[in-house]
Amino acid sequence: MTREFISGNDALAQGVRLASPKVISAYPITPQTTVVERLSEMVGDGSLDAEFIHVESEHSALSCAIGASAAGVRTFTATSSQGLLYMAECLPYAAGGRFPIVMMNANRSVALPWNIYGDQRDSLLLLDSGWMQAYAQDAQEGLDLALMSYRIAEDPEVSTPFMINLDGFRLTHTYEVVEVPDKESADRFLPPFRPIGSIDFKDPQNIGFSAGPEHNVFFKYKAHRAVLRSRSAIAGSEKAFSDIFGREYTGLIEEYRCEDADHILITLGSASGLCRHAADAARSEGIRAGVLRIRYMRPFPAEEIAAAVSGAKSVSVLEADVSFGGSGAVFSNVGAALFSAGLSMPSSNYIGGLGGRRISQGDVRRIFSDMAAGKTGVRFIGIEEGLQ
Amino acid sequence: MSPPVPELSDDEFFYGHKACAGCGGSLAVRIALKVLGERAVAVLPAGCMSAVGFNFPQLCFANNAIISTFAGTASMMTGIEAGLRARGITDFKVVGFAGDGGTADIGIQALSGAIDRGDDVIYICYDNEAYMNTGTQKSSLTPFGARTTTTPFKGNVRDKKDMFEIAAAHGIPYAATASVGYLNDYMRKVAKAAEIKGTKYIHVIAPCPTGWGAGSDETIELAKEAVDCGLWPLAEYENGEFTLSMRAKDPSLLDGHIRRQGRFRHLTSEDMEHIRELRDRRWDRIERKWNTDQRRRTQ
């Protein structure tokens, strides 16, 4: 193990190196680029024994990864924003085909207007694509997820692609001290890939077929069940990770001062650190605040969220996403989880950080005040109260 | 020196499918797989051949085969080739079978990328000259004058895109045109492609009785005639040179060839004259630029 002062993208690339994918296909897009630059350097200098394929588009990046996965090897790709949307067709394709591909997405705003900075509209648009989705809060978690994602995705009960999300620039380009495991420990944690139903010359396979109305539901149900079952693979993976590397992760969600909180703010990604500081500040002023960080949007932690907030007086969701005319995707998922659990406390949705706009501690502190004052509805941070 | 025409194997790798009677595309797939054998991994995008061959539980490929996305034939081939090689497997051939729309329209970007990278794959375009799987809509390989459901009155106003020369312009190691009417020539080209390292592109004309408005027993005749009347020159591109495989036997067959197809029945004499002009202009260029002296007669 070494301690290195590196960016989130560098950390992610180190995690991928430790996972030893055999085929990497990628197309450059800001702010993902340094991930694939680092990986092509590693392939070039021999520190990673893989084929780096310079595809001509993101659609081809994932199509190529599907092909390599069908051939029975571990694969990696990375993208962001417009690139993720350009490859969108291939996402449900990979999920329906049950290819355990790992992809890093550098969360970035989507055009129009053009914007290269971080928000979560790209990955949340693809929430229904059948992939597991995890959101890191710092560079270390990015690296650790790169290792854990393969173990989870390749679990025979799961065999589903996995998207690791890092907030554009805030995580991808921010330098932190990161523990980089040694390869030997990484190999102990991550067993070699054992493909299921891949190309086989002794027992030839027809892969990726059509299934009509009579049979289609069975494939869809199995894919759904696989993502549900990833919960135990995630738990098992985190246990093994802690045993080998000593770092603990908390499953699909991470709670901060939720146990006695009246007002719980739910968020995901890099904003969560800021929210925890704001919760501390709110508590010092008499508001019993808590923060719940969603680590996985798929599988969705509906029961975990409901259990964590069941004693709260109000719940709010802060996310860098909005579905015009509706709410943020995280809020609508959380709302369904609360409703299913029979919880009906006042709730609100704060849209913040769109296009990389800075969220201040004061902004989050105001969310807690609003919650304490009983405000509900969908609100945009940065838009005057009178216009909302 | 070209390898000899391979003997037609009794092995079948593509059968039990639901293609229309007289389908030229299914013949192109079946014959190529006979040549390439059990170590071929077939990639087929959305289109006629995947629609007729991959209906769970009636799966019609006896070798390894996969459906790619419509645009992703070539990129999926790239991934499969790299993946199998990474597993230490060397004796295999990745072959793609995409239609004209899947190749010249939606798939051209991925194909261009694969050729540019020099990926060691064989890409076969079975050209039935329109989106036949969806009911005969115009593609960029629909010829001038052909009526499709999206060019319903005058027919297509543009000529076919020249995918053979587009592939060649990449500096591809091997490209060829072929016809399901001349199977020996097609088989020889597939066998040759299998021996060459790098990207190979074979463009095989494959009549579609349903879309062309012809009888299901006319496929082979139509595919021969297209070559014989000079509309579809059979050729190879190798080492930077174009070589004609065989001369057009009888240019006067053109009118009868066009007139017998329902898709051209509305054409005026001016339209026919334009088709002749397009063909003759092409041949002028072929005579000037291609190697036509050392032509190989394969029939």
Question: What are B102-152's pLDDT values in tens digits?
Answer: 999 999 999 999 999 999 999 999 999 999 999 999 999 999 999 999 999
* Pairwise CB contact (< 8 Å): A68 & B80: yes
pLDDT of B8: 87
Mean pLDDT (whole number) for A353-361:
96
Residue A385 confidence (pLDDT): 83
Q: What does the angle CA A63 – CA B192 – CA B113 come to, to the nearest 5 degrees?
A: 25
Task: Read off φ and ψ for residue B216, nearest 5 degrees.
Answer: -70, -10
Pairing of strands B235-238, B174-179: antiparallel
CB < 8 Å to A22, chain B: 82-83, 86-87
Q: Which domains does chain B have, with CATH numbers?
A: 24-289 (3.40.50.970)
Distance CA B127, CA A21 (A): 37
**pTM of the prediction?**
0.97
Task: Indicate the DSSP class of residue B14.
Answer: B
Q: Which residues of B touch A100 (CB under 8 A)?
A: none
CA distance A276 to chain B (A): 43
Residues A49 and A24 sit within 8 Å (Cβ to Cβ): no
- For B223-241, b where at least 16 C-beta lie within 10 A, e where not — what string? bbbbbbbbbbbbbbbbeee
Nearest to A57 by CA among A77, A91, A83, A38: A83
A53–B41 C-beta distance less than 8 A: no
Predicted pLDDT at B297: 46
Size of interface A-B (CB pairs under 8 A): 159
8 Å CB contact between A120 and A269? yes
Q: Specify which residues A291 forms β-bridges with.
A: A256, A265
Strands A289-294 and A253-256: antiparallel
The closest of B43, B25, B40 to B180, measured between CA atoms, is B25
- The proportion of chain A whose per-residue pLDDT surpasses 70, expressed as a percent, equals 100
Average pLDDT, chain A: 97
Task: Report how far residue A330's alpha carbon sits from residue A337's, in angstroms, rounded to the nearest whole number.
Answer: 11
* Chain A residues within an 8 Å CB radius of B48: none
Give the strand pairing for A132-135 and A162-167.
Answer: parallel
Hey, is the C-beta of B109 within 8 angstroms of any chain A C-beta?
A: yes
Selected residue of A51, A63, A201 to mutate for chain B interface (largest B Cβ count, 10 A): A63
**Partners of residue A70 in chain B, C-beta under 8 Å:** 66, 76, 79-80, 83
- Interchain pair A51, B77: CB under 8 A: no
A113-135, pLDDT tens digit by residue? 999 999 999 999 999 999 999 99
Find out whether B134 and B105 touch, Cβ atoms under 8 Å.
Answer: no
Greater confidence (B270 vs A385) lies with B270
With CB atoms and an 8 Å threshold, state whether A204 touches B39: no
Sites in chain B below the pLDDT cut of 70: 1-3, 294-299
pLDDT at A2 over 70: yes
| Chain A residues closer than 8 Å to B98 by CB | none
Please write the tens of the pLDDT for every residue from A194-248: 999 999 999 999 999 999 999 999 999 999 999 999 999 999 999 999 999 999 9
What pLDDT, on the 0 to 100 scale, is given for residue B5?
81
Q: Which domains does chain A have, with CATH numbers?
A: 2-245 (3.40.50.970), 253-387 (3.40.50.920)
pLDDT at A369 over 80: yes
ipTM of the complex: 0.96
Question: CB distance B117–A209 less than 8 Å?
Answer: no
According to the model, what pLDDT value does residue B3 have? 65
What does the alpha-carbon distance between residue B214 and residue A223 come to, in Å, rounded to a whole number? 44
B110 → closest Cβ in A23, A60, A72: A60
- B72 part of contact set with chain A, CB < 8 Å: yes
Which pair of tokens denotes residue B269? 């004499």
* Chain B from 32 to 61: CB within 8 A of any A CB: 38-39, 41, 43, 50-51, 54-57, 59-61
Work out the minimum CA distance from A23 to partner chain B, whole angstroms: 7
Contact B86 A56 (CB under 8 A): no
Q: Does the pLDDT at position A294 exceed 60? A: yes
